[in-house]
Structure 1
C-alpha cells in the first residue's frame, strides 16, 4: 500500500537519492535539465509515494515550459525504486499526477521517454515539437491539446 502526497521541501533529499538510484550518473547534464535550471517546479503537481514504512518508493515532478508561444508542462523525472518496480506504482503516480495537472487547467503535457510505455497513458509522438539537442526526436511525446502548437521547447519565463 502506498500513500501519495504532494512533495514538500523535507522530501527533497530522499527524492534526489531515488533519482540517483534510478538514473545514470550525469542525469543532470541532459538537455531537459537545462529547461529546469532556475525554474521552480509546479509544486502542487509534484508527488511522492511512500510505503507503509514511510520510505520513498516513487516520485514525479512537473516543470513549466514554453513550446513556441504555448505553455506546457514538462513531466519528469518520474521514478520508482528498483525494488518496487512491477507493482503498478509508476502507473499510480502517472495517473494521479496527470489527473492533478488536468484539474489545474494545464492543456498539454510533454515528456521525453519510451513511446511503448507512455502510450498507455495517452501520450503520442510530437513531430512538430523540438527539444534541445541532443534529444532523440522519436522520444518527444505529448498528451493533451497540441493542435497548432509547434516549435522549440524553451525555458519558462514569467
Structure 2
C-alpha cells in the first residue's frame, strides 16, 4: 500500500470579488443611492456638478463595479468639457461602497475608465480630488494651474492627466461643459432617491 503524499499545494490568489462593467439602466437607482451616501444630500450643489447637470456622460465612460452577490458597489463616470479651449474629460463622481473598502474597487474603476478613454482617442482627463490618491494614476497639478471651475474649489485638488502628450498645453480659463444635453425630465428623475443609501467612500467629486 502506497503512503499518501502530503505534497505542498501552491496557493492560488482568489479572484477579485467584484467585476467592472459598463453601466446599465438598471444601475441608476443603486448608483444614486451610493452617491448620496458618499457625498451627502447636498452633492447636487457641489461645484463639479455644474459641469454635469443637464448633460450626458461621455459615450462608453459610465462604469459600474458589482459585487459577486450582485450589489452595485462602485461607480465612475466621465464627462465632455472644454478646459480653457482644450477638449478634455472631467472624471467624477467616483464612489465605492464602504463595505468594499480595501478591495481595490476604486483603483479598478479608475484603471478601466482611463484605458477606455485612451482607446477612444480622448486627449486628457481632469478631476477634483486628493492628489496623493490620484498620483498613482498619473494625475498632477502641473497643467491645471491656469484653469478654473464654475464655483469654489481648492486649487491643489484640481488635477490633470494627459492621455496624449501636450493635450493640456496652454490650457487656460474656465472649464465648461460640452457634452450632449439630456431632457430636463430625465435629469430630474435621476436625482430622485428611492431607497436608503449604504455607507460609502468618496473619492472624486
TM over 0.5: yes
- TM-score by length of structure 2 reads 0.74
Match of 1:115 in 2: 131
Structure whose residues are more often helix by fraction: 1
Task: Using CA pairs under 8 Å that are at least 6 residues apart, name the structure with larger relative contact order, 1 or 2.
Answer: 2
- TM-score by length of structure 1 reads 0.95
Is 1:138 equivalent to 2:160 in the alignment? no
Structure 1 residues 83, 157: CA separation in 2 closer, same or farther (over 3 Å shift)? closer
Match of 1:10 in 2: 26
Deviates more, 1:18-27 or 1:94-103: 18-27
Q: Aligned ranges for residues 79-98 of structure 1 at < 5 Å?
A: 79-98=95-114
Match of 2:200 in 1: none
Match of 1:56 in 2: 72
In structure 1, list runs of 5 or more residues that go unmatched. none
- Aligned residues, how many? 158
Q: Is the 8 A contact 1:6 1:43 kept in 2?
A: no
Deviations 1:57-80 (A, max 9, x none): 111011111112211101000011
SS in 1 for 2:60: helix
Match of 1:156 in 2: 178
Match of 1:21 in 2: 37
Q: Which runs of 4+ in 1 moved over 2 A?
A: none
CA distance in 2, matches of 1:155, 1:46: 16
Structure whose residues are more often strand by fraction: 1
Q: Is the 8 A contact 2:83 2:171 kept in 1?
A: yes
Q: Is the 8 A contact 1:76 1:111 kept in 2?
A: yes
SS in 2 for 1:57: strand
Displacement of 1:25 in angstroms is 2.4
Q: Is the 8 A contact 2:23 2:63 kept in 1?
A: yes
Displacement of 1:89 in angstroms is 0.9
In structure 2, list runs of 5 or more residues that go unmatched. 1-16, 181-205
- Output the aligned Cα RMSD: 1.2
Compare CA radii of gyration and give the structure with the larger one. Answer: 2
